Amino acid sequence: MIHVVLYEPEIPQNTGNIMRTCVAANCRLHLIEPLGFSLDEQKIRRSGMDYREKLQMSVYPDWAAFCAQNPDGEFYFLTRYGKQPPASFDYTRTEKDIYLVFGRESTGIPKAILRDHLDRCARLPMVADARSLNLSNCVAICVYEVLRQLDYPGLSKTEHIKGEDWLLV
């Protein structure tokens, strides 16, 4: 399973979009407090649409509590200070769950956490004078890179709501 971990997210619309991505990609979402918003905020409901009822989500009071409850798995950290793109990791080489960790929108993941995982720090390539991309976009890019490498396990590759031949009708 793929897990998306948001360390102290600040913007409700980003988290709502990430909730939607997690449902669509069959990922579990982990939120580490403090959050910059209330989980019942209208902005989250609007971004997450009707996907929230299908969301697999856990909330933790801090990083230590998250680590204590999730001791096994392969952890990868997205940070502007990473030195390799997410595609450089081979996600097919593990039998463990994959945890993709993202930091708060304003300051990212603390150095104290990153220092212990320098070999697992990734950066999305971009022009040199760009600081970062939007958090929800980063999550989607990274989740779908892992899914691509794993050949989209359990996900439909055809349209089922309107039918896979809808364009032909």
pLDDT at 46: 61
pLDDT at 12 over 60: yes
Which tokens belong to 57?
């989500």
124 is in an annotated binding site: yes
Which tokens belong to 162?
């309107």
Q: Are strands 74-78 and 56-60 parallel, antiparallel or unpaired?
A: unpaired
Which tokens belong to 54?
């299908």
103 is in an annotated binding site: yes
**pLDDT interval class at 25 (50, 70, 90):** very high
Give the chain's domain count: 1
88 is in an annotated binding site: no
Q: Are 36 and 103 in contact (CB under 8 A)?
A: no
CATH code for the domain in which residue 127 is found = 3.40.1280.10
Note the helical H segments in the chain. Answer: 12-25, 42-48, 63-69, 111-114, 135-149
What are the tens digits of pLDDT across the range 77-120?
A: 999 999 999 999 999 998 999 999 999 999 999 999 999 999 99
pLDDT at 166: 84
78 is in an annotated binding site: yes
Residue-number span of the structural domain to which 96 is assigned: 2-168
- Alpha carbon distance 93, 108 (integer Å): 27
DSSP track, 29-54: EEEESPPSS-TT-HHHHHHHGGGGGG
**pLDDT interval class at 50 (50, 70, 90):** low
- Alpha carbon distance 11, 5 (integer Å): 15
* Helical (H) or strand (E) element with 102: strand 98-102
pLDDT at 43 over 70: no
Q: Are 6 and 30 in contact (CB under 8 A)?
A: yes
Per the prediction, the chain carries an average pLDDT of 91
Q: Are 102 and 78 in contact (CB under 8 A)?
A: yes
